[in-house]
A and B are shown apart, each in its own frame.
Chain A
Amino acid sequence: MAFLESNAQTARALQGMRSMLPLLPGIIPFGLIAGLTPITLGYHWSDSILASIWMFAGASQLAAYQLIGEGASIWVILMTVAAINLRYVLYSASMAPFLTDASRPVRLLAGYGLTDQIYAIAHRDFPVNTWDLSERLAYYFGGTLVIWLLWQSCVLAGALLGQVVPAMWSLEFMIPLTFLALGLSTLKTTAHRMAAVSGALVTYLGLDAPLNLGLIAGALVGITVGVLSKRVLHAS
């Protein structure tokens, strides 16, 4: 940790790493699946690890792979990735006050490293401590380094595993199963369930639409139905 200038920074970096530990087991299977699925679609393990290094956003990686496999248009792929990653705008807004005084390269690196996990622990620990910028950065990058290394290791392991698993095992089916489990976990209220059902229905009806536009239509209808259902249900 030679790059850390003071004991306070080292302590914060270690604290960030420690705080991240309980959140790590959950990402291991997803990392393996994210590494493996590009291989099941006919790509090389090097494609898989490179894509994971520059995207570094689990669920949207899976969505991009599935859509690439279906031959979707680049715009549909980008819109879907944007939709899945839209939550980062909220995280970004919440982290901004703690990071805006850093230099631009550091801010960009912090943006790249933003995950559900680092957001969860930084959002918890930044407001209640009187750390200076260098301490906050040490904490943020300490935690991020740990999850980044574990994620990419799992992706690499999954990719290498994928090279030896025969196609007939149909491991590409783990992508929709993962979205199923992630999606079902978000169905908290009636409005959320309405959003999911209507979005799925429109996507199903639009399966033969060109360029996978049925998926975009389904997402937009689902979101709209969700918002309107909530208004109606709250009004009544």
Chain B
Amino acid sequence: MHPEFLWTTAACALVTIALKSSFIEGSRHIHLPRWFREALEFVPPAVLIALVVPGVFKGQSSLEAALGAVAIDPRIVAAAAASAVYWVTQRTMPTLGAGMACLYGAYWLQL
């Protein structure tokens, strides 16, 4: 067990339950302001796609950490290929599968 990991995720859990319980606990007569509803629509695309960026461009994959770095970061190739597969299939699992396969493939081709 890692106490720091557990404390951090417990704090995340408090934020989560506060949001989930907000209106169930609060008055049933509160209305969400219009700007909030307007902004909420764009939270998923902005946040989810922004979260991809550090995962692809920051640091290095543990594949490279274990076996040595190569010229072109295989994560960039894999993310591009996964996007293309999502474009065609519109399904999550093939996207994940193609992404991981291309990560290995793009690394292996450069060895």
Contacts and interface: CB of A to CB of B under 8 A. Distances in A.
13 contacts: A29-B92, A43-B2, A56-B16, A82-B15, A88-B19, A96-B28, A97-B28, A104-B25, A173-B99, A182-B44, A182-B48, A200-B53, A203-B50
Interface of B: 1-2, 5-6, 8-13, 15-17, 19-26, 28, 30, 32, 35, 37-59, 61-63, 65-67, 75, 78-79, 82-83, 86-87, 90, 92-93, 95-96, 99-100, 103
Interface size class of A (residues with CB under 8 A): 35 or more
Interface of B, secondary structure class, is helix
B23 to A, nearest CB: 4
Contacts of B15: 78, 81-82, 85
B95 A89 contact: no
B51 A66 contact: yes
A152 interface: no
A187 B83 CA distance: 12
A70 B24 CA distance: 34
A225 B1 CA distance: 42
Contacts of A77: 8, 11-12
